[in-house]
Amino acid sequence: PKPIFLKDYRAPDYLFDKVNLTFELGEDYTTVTSSILVRPSHSGGSPPLILDGAEPKDLELVNVKVNGKALQTGDFERSQKKLTIVSPPAEAYTLEIETKIQPQNNTALEGLYKTSGNFCTQCEAEGFRRITFYQDRPDVMARYTVRIEGDAARYPVLLSNGNLAEQGDLEGGRHYAVWEDPFVKPCYLFALVAGQLTHTEDKFVTMSGKEVTLRIYVQEHNKDKTAYAMRSLQAAMKWDEDTFGREYDLDLFNIVAVDDFNMGAMENKSLNIFNSRLVLATPETATDGDYTSIEGVVGHEYFHNWTGNRVTCRDWFQLSLKEGLTVYRDQEFTSDMTSRAVTRIGDVQRLRMAQFPEDAGPMAHPVRPQSYIKMDNFYTLTVYEKGAEVVRMYETLLGKAGFRKGMDLYFERHDGQAVTCDDFLAAMRDANGADLGTFPLWYQQAGTPRLSITTHYDEAAKTFTLTTKQEVPPSAGQPVKQPMLLPVTVGLLGPDGADLPLSSVNGRPLAGPDGAAPTSTVLRVDQAEQTFTFDNIPARPVPSLLRNFSAPVRLTSDVTDEQLIFLLAHDSDPFNRWEAAQTLARKLMLDLVGKAQKGDTLQLAPAFVAALKDVLTDAALDKAFIARAISLPSQSELADMMAVADPDAIHAVHKFVTRTIAAELRAELQHAVDSNRTRDAYSPDTASKARRALKNTALGYLASLNEADITDMALADFRSSTNMTDQLAALAALAVNPGEARDTALAEFYEQWKGDGLVMNKWLGIQAASSLPGNVAHVRSLLEHPAFDMKNPNKVYALVGGFASAAVNFHARDGSGYEFLAEQVLKLDKINAQVASRMVSAFTRWRRYDDDRQSKAKAQLERIVRTEGLSENVYEIVSKSLE
Ligand code: B3K
Ligand code: ZN
């Protein structure tokens, strides 16, 4: 397999102005006729037209015509993955291609495939080439008309992008529909859905008074589960108008929920297709987390209509242009709909837990990658989440109003175009006349910058100085890197805990929006080493650094444990209050890991427990914030911070610290559980979710004590719960400790929910991710369970992915976890390479472990890479891991 490079980008030789597609849906095969109006993009010569296509086994070529005349052998060449029109006309012409495909046998779930008996599509990134031959690249944008013909009884619903232009009956019990999309689009945004579906309908009146019909299509038995997704869609439409002045541009917006889907959802123009787990929700079947995800992802896909569809990417290296920006937009949407501080905490936690390790591993790549073998492997946390951080840094540097100006200019300049990350940067810069300095390096350099800050207070001069040092660590192919512009938001707390006014830094006066000295300021850190001196600081302050996580860096500083406890109690930036507790916990726990490795007795600092107690019992705090603030850093975060990760020691320390806190704060935790139970009907509003979050976090702590009365309480809660959030939290608490209560609860849960596939994924997930010793055997047995299906991505993510996320068992000393994963990857690779490649990614961090584990993991990676007929997807991840 050969990599593709950003530096090799060339504009296409041919433009496609108009595309007419006809689908004749059938049981044995589906015929696709594509008629394209082709135009040379530049005058002079007519080079061969090279079209992308899947391998012959997945895409059968029936015939090719130019201006109505069938081409003869020699006029065209069909190779493994291309169709070449050898000497096409020099003027505009019509190219007609007929292909045959078998969606019913398509287990890769890209292109046109069947799910629960219905047809659906997934074309991003390069799935359209499994439907027909095409210039399958995002900078080829065309207007589409789509005609779908199929059996009327089997496929009563026929959908594609845009507006329904025509429909009617055909002979032989068949019928047809014609859809016209007035907007130009790249083929990755094409969609088709056909099948037995029912829909719920509502409407939205746009800011200019246009009425839009909103429909959510589901299988009949799920009709009662779409209300929250519908509400979320309406909220998202309103939010994008209020926040960015973006209005919806068609009369119809459809969402379709399907059970078999590789990713979360897809933003096809006016016909979004969703993994059903991100649409369907009732209080009994969906958790608070599910509700939050539904709102966020429905928003995300809707927001793509402007950031992705109206303005799209020139090439796939620019993916973060639409994804980083749209993740930023959905994060802001969630912040406005729920709690800003808690949303930010969750987003940063995710970044740190999953993106930081990616950025430190063999797959590290810049937000704009420079090469790839398989684009599907680059829908990464770096492109999405770090990409969103990059967008957020523009906002921090330019201010909210400045950021909005940049967005307005971006849309004004590029509506209807396929553009690059540089175009986005230029719009932000030009709209604000801003000096963005070395900021463009964020698109070029991989790796998480390390920022260290030391402080000095000069009693006599009344100045406080921060010395910053930044370094971007080397990564594959990038041994030496330059310092980048980091916006570092800083505040200084006085002895009473209140923010000090910041009157000047480095002699430059500061003024807030009202002209008065601000209490927070953004430092432009862009050198390897710099100093920032604040004047008129009457007493030694406690610095609050990197407020709101203003740049995605690994920060170390000389802030002491006592100062962290002070910040936890007083910081006006709620993110940094949480961060103070996390920083302290990380420090204490890493220290304990060292002790555990030496076999020393473990002790938890009483000041830490006391600080957590203060938070837990502070009635003035948001309960969701308390839940986050008392939660420990994840085991993977700790592993990521160690020179040689030791999953057993980390697990032991995590357990020890959890139990110690539970024992010391038992009364307070019990109170948090008791006082936050409610008999009210379930509601997914922010305050209710916060109550449940606190209650269930406290329950998790108590469960670690493994005492009979707590187990009884959890079992009673499990049985009496009226919503999935509480039921699943109780089940998770019971599942921590082996024994009868665990077995009983799992069995009861199965009996209650075996008819609901989505709920069964939660049941699989809890068992898969268990840290009970020897769990690999149990997970192996679940592979054979009727609740599991290797062809369904959600089930694979729950069982196989869940297993790989539980470090102690995945990294079991005997290598059984590695062997298990390798086996599943090889099986999966034959079914669905994208899913296999996501699963094999658990191996990428293998070099972070001890020699013995390394050699066992390496043996499995070598076994995989040696396998005949391996997909490019898995090959890329494994070969890069072995480099
Ligand atoms: N754009 C899609 C992702 C498609 C992934 C293809 N392998 C979903 C999203 O980010 O909105
Ligand atoms: Zn997206």
- The answer to whether the CB of 523 falls within 8 A of the CB of 488 is yes
* The predicted structure's pLDDT at residue 514: 86
- The answer to whether the CB of 66 falls within 8 A of the CB of 94 is yes
pLDDT digits (tens, 9 = 90+) for 837-882: 999 999 999 999 999 999 999 999 999 999 999 999 999 999 999 9
- The answer to whether the CB of 197 falls within 8 A of the CB of 215 is no
- The answer to whether the CB of 348 falls within 8 A of the CB of 363 is no
Task: Say which CATH class 1-104+112-195 falls into.
Answer: mainly beta
Number of neighbouring beta carbons within 10 Å of residue 846: 21
Share of the chain above pLDDT 90, in %: 98
Q: How far is the CA of 263 from the centre of ligand 2 (A)?
A: 10
Q: How far is the CA of 760 from the centre of ligand 1 (A)?
A: 25
Residue with tokens 């394209």: 36
Spatial CA neighbour of 794 closest among 215, 23, 277: 277
Integer distance in angstroms from the first to the last C-alpha of the chain? Answer: 15
Q: Hey, which of 263, 271, 294, 300 would you mutate to test ligand 1's pocket, going by the most ligand atoms within 8 Å of its Cβ?
A: 263
Quote the strand ranges of 409-567, DSSP E.
418-419, 450-458, 463-471, 486-493, 504-505, 508-509, 521-525, 529-534, 542-544, 554-557
For residue 873, the surrounding DSSP H or E stretch is: helix 872-882
Whether the per-residue pLDDT at 43 is higher than 80: the answer is no
pLDDT digits (tens, 9 = 90+) for 523-580: 999 999 999 999 999 999 999 999 999 999 999 999 999 999 999 999 999 999 999 9
Runs of H (alpha helix) within 676-801? 686-703, 708-720, 724-735, 740-753, 757-768, 775-782, 793-796
Residue with tokens 């009994």: 284
Measured CA to CA, the distance from residue 711 to residue 526 in angstroms comes to: 54
Q: Which DSSP symbol is given to 8? A: G
Determine if ligand 1 sits within 6 Å of the CB of residue 359.
no
pLDDT digits (tens, 9 = 90+) for 377-429: 999 999 999 999 999 999 999 999 999 999 999 999 999 999 999 999 999 99
For atom 5 of ligand 1, the residue with the nearest CA is 124
Q: What is the DSSP string of 281-347?
A: --TTT--HHHHHHHHHHHHHHHHTTTBTTTBEESSGGGHHHHHHHHHHHHHHHHHHHS-HHHHHHHH
Spatial CA neighbour of 222 closest among 671, 756, 803, 701: 756
Determine if ligand 1 sits within 6 Å of the CB of residue 126.
no
Spatial CA neighbour of 217 closest among 269, 286, 179, 273: 273
Per-residue pLDDT band at 678 (split at 50, 70, 90) = confident
Pinpoint the residues of the chain covered by CATH 2.60.40.1840.
471-549
Spatial CA neighbour of 272 closest among 241, 236, 319: 236
For atom 3 of ligand 1, the residue with the nearest CA is 266
pLDDT digits (tens, 9 = 90+) for 310-367: 999 999 999 999 999 999 999 999 999 999 999 999 999 999 999 999 999 999 999 9
* CA separation, residue 143 to residues 52, 56, 620, 814 (Å): 19, 27, 56, 57
Neighbouring residues of the ion ligand 2, judged by CB less than 5 Å = 323, 326
Q: pTM above the 0.95 mark?
A: yes
pLDDT digits (tens, 9 = 90+) for 137-175: 999 999 999 999 999 999 999 999 999 999 999 999 999
Q: Which residues pair with 281 in a beta bridge?
A: none
Whether the per-residue pLDDT at 260 is higher than 90: the answer is yes
Whether the per-residue pLDDT at 771 is higher than 90: the answer is yes
- The answer to whether the CB of 325 falls within 8 A of the CB of 392 is no
For atom 2 of ligand 1, the residue with the nearest CA is 266
- The answer to whether the CB of 356 falls within 8 A of the CB of 386 is no
pLDDT digits (tens, 9 = 90+) for 237-248: 999 999 999 999
Spatial CA neighbour of 142 closest among 17, 21, 51: 17
Determine if ligand 1 sits within 6 Å of the CB of residue 266.
yes
Per-residue pLDDT band at 443 (split at 50, 70, 90) = very high
* The predicted structure's pLDDT at residue 23: 99
* CA separation, residue 813 to residues 349, 734, 826, 851, 852 (Å): 28, 26, 22, 11, 8
SS3 track for 16-81? EEEEEEEEECCCCCEEEEEEEEEEECCCCCCCCEEEECCCCCCCEEEEEEECCEECCECCEEECCC
Whether the per-residue pLDDT at 726 is higher than 80: the answer is yes
Q: Which residues pair with 419 in a beta bridge?
A: 313
3-class secondary structure, 791: coil
Cis? peptide before 125, omega within 30° of 0: yes
Interface predicted TM-score (ipTM) of this complex, two decimals:
0.99
Residues 6+ apart with CB under 8 A from 339: 622, 624, 625, 686, 690
| Four-way CATH pick for 754-883: 2.40.110.10, 3.40.1280.10, 3.40.50.300, 1.25.50.10 | 1.25.50.10
In degrees and rounded to multiples of 5, residue 743 shows phi and psi of: -60, -45
Q: How far is the CA of 293 from the centre of ligand 2 (A)?
A: 13
Determine if ligand 1 sits within 6 Å of the CB of residue 376.
yes
Quote the strand ranges of 528-630, DSSP E.
529-534, 542-544, 554-557
Number of neighbouring beta carbons within 10 Å of residue 11: 12
Whether the per-residue pLDDT at 42 is higher than 90: the answer is no
- The answer to whether the CB of 285 falls within 8 A of the CB of 756 is yes
* CA separation, residue 491 to residues 457, 571, 708 (Å): 15, 9, 48
Q: How far is the CA of 89 from the centre of ligand 1 (A)?
A: 36
| Four-way CATH pick for 312-443: 1.10.390.10, 2.170.120.12, 1.10.3720.10, 3.40.50.300 | 1.10.390.10
Pinpoint the residues of the chain covered by CATH 1.25.50.10.
754-883
* The predicted structure's pLDDT at residue 807: 94
Spatial CA neighbour of 213 closest among 236, 234, 228, 240: 234
Determine if ligand 1 sits within 6 Å of the CB of residue 124.
yes
Per-residue pLDDT band at 45 (split at 50, 70, 90) = confident
Q: Which residues pair with 213 in a beta bridge?
A: 203, 252
Quote the strand ranges of 631-696, DSSP E.
none
pLDDT digits (tens, 9 = 90+) for 190-199: 999 999 999 9
* The predicted structure's pLDDT at residue 151: 98
- The answer to whether the CB of 147 falls within 8 A of the CB of 187 is no
What are 13's two structure tokens?
Answer: 């030789």
Q: Which DSSP symbol is given to 610? A: H
Determine if ligand 1 sits within 6 Å of the CB of residue 301.
yes
Whether the per-residue pLDDT at 515 is higher than 90: the answer is no
3-class secondary structure, 664: helix
Q: Which ligand 1 atom is at minimum distance from the Cα of 308?
A: 1
Q: How far is the CA of 374 from the centre of ligand 1 (A)?
A: 14
Pinpoint the residues of the chain covered by CATH 2.60.40.1730.
1-104+112-195
* The predicted structure's pLDDT at residue 179: 99
Whether the per-residue pLDDT at 44 is higher than 80: the answer is no
Packing angle between helix 227-244 and helix 288-303, nearest 10 degrees? 50
Determine if ligand 1 sits within 6 Å of the CB of residue 726.
no
CA–centroid distance for 323 within its chain: 9
Sign of CA dihedral 389, 390, 391, 393: positive
Average pLDDT of every residue of the chain:
98
pLDDT digits (tens, 9 = 90+) for 727-766: 999 999 999 999 999 999 999 999 999 999 999 999 999 9
* The predicted structure's pLDDT at residue 426: 98
Measured CA to CA, the distance from residue 113 to residue 119 in angstroms comes to: 6
What are 72's two structure tokens?
Answer: 């003869």
Measured CA to CA, the distance from residue 640 to residue 247 in angstroms comes to: 43
Sheet-wide strand order for 504-505: 508-509, 504-505, 529-534, 463-471, 450-458, 554-557
Sign of CA dihedral 305, 311, 313, 318: negative
Q: How far is the CA of 102 from the centre of ligand 1 (A)?
A: 23
Ligand at minimal distance from the CA of 323 is 2
Per-residue pLDDT band at 372 (split at 50, 70, 90) = very high
Whether the per-residue pLDDT at 430 is higher than 80: the answer is yes
Q: How far is the CA of 216 from the centre of ligand 1 (A)?
A: 19
Q: Which residues pair with 273 in a beta bridge?
A: 256, 266
In degrees and rounded to multiples of 5, residue 869 shows phi and psi of: 75, 20
- The answer to whether the CB of 309 falls within 8 A of the CB of 286 is no
3-class secondary structure, 133: coil
Whether the per-residue pLDDT at 455 is higher than 90: the answer is yes
Determine if ligand 1 sits within 6 Å of the CB of residue 640.
no
Q: Which ligand 1 atom is at minimum distance from the Cα of 124?
A: 6
Which residues belong to the active site? 301
Per-residue pLDDT band at 101 (split at 50, 70, 90) = very high
For residue 827, the surrounding DSSP H or E stretch is: helix 816-831
| Four-way CATH pick for 471-549: 3.40.50.300, 2.60.40.1840, 3.40.309.10, 3.40.50.1000 | 2.60.40.1840
For atom 10 of ligand 1, the residue with the nearest CA is 323
